[in-house]
Amino acid sequence: MDTVALTFDDGPHPETTPALLAALGDAPATFFLQGTHAVDHPDLVRAIAAAGHTIGNHSWTHPRLPSLSPAARELEVARTQDLLAGITGTRPRLFRPPYGDTDASVAATIAGHGLTEVLWTIDTRDWAGVSTGEIVDTAAAVEPGGIILMHDGGYASTVAAVPRILAALASRGLRAAAVTG
């Protein structure tokens, strides 16, 4: 059976992370966590890991990384790596640059941490306040092997879309998977 990766950026968030974990059930996903949120909610980071999901690094403060100095860019990545490893006992292997904004300098920084950059093939635009139906319809265009971008940022529409996306994938003979690095 072919797979599709479900990914969630910007968490963890107390308003949506527990609901997303419940909506996913036993379907694996990848959560790209922001350091400033993870430091405030280490219990949610542990819950994501305990549910068997993959945790990736999404920077400390969600800046446009190419515009930062090398030292600032390094701090964004390293600080989040250290925090997530301290909470879960495992260093993330995956990195998603905020906004998908990347260049050779970002690649060099993350390579120094043994991280693999992960972008996406489908942006559901949940971050723009679209409806649950629009999220589901956009996700439906995913091809086998694709990566769907969603957000764990307090969006009830995303939480509501997850079961419908999983059902739509299953109806196409596809299954959810975590990103592998």
pLDDT tens digit sequence for 61-115: 999 999 999 999 999 999 999 999 999 999 999 999 999 999 999 999 999 999 9
**Catalytic option among 13, 37, 151, 152:** 151
Active site residue 113: no
Check residue 60 and report its DSSP letter: S
More confident residue, 131 or 1: 131
Contact 107, 116 (CB under 8 A): no
pLDDT tens sequence across 102-153: 999 999 999 999 999 999 999 999 999 999 999 999 999 999 999 999 999 8
Active site residue 82: no
Contact 85, 113 (CB under 8 A): no
Distance from C-alpha of 146 to C-alpha of 143, rounded to nearest angstrom: 5
* Size (the chain), residues: 181
* Backbone conformation region of residue 133, classed left if phi is above 0, alpha if psi is from -120 to 50, else beta: alpha
CATH number at residue 115: 3.20.20.370
Whether pTM exceeds 0.95: yes
Radius of gyration (C-alpha) of the chain in whole angstroms = 15
pLDDT band with cut points at 50, 70 and 90 for residue 1: low
- What pLDDT is attached to residue 181? 72
Range of the domain at 30: 2-177
**Catalytic option among 9, 10, 126, 152:** 9
In angstroms, the Cα distances linking 167 to 8, 142, 146 are 18, 14, 16
Q: How many structural domains is the chain composed of?
A: 1
For every residue of 82-95, DSSP letters joined together read HHHHHHHSS---EE
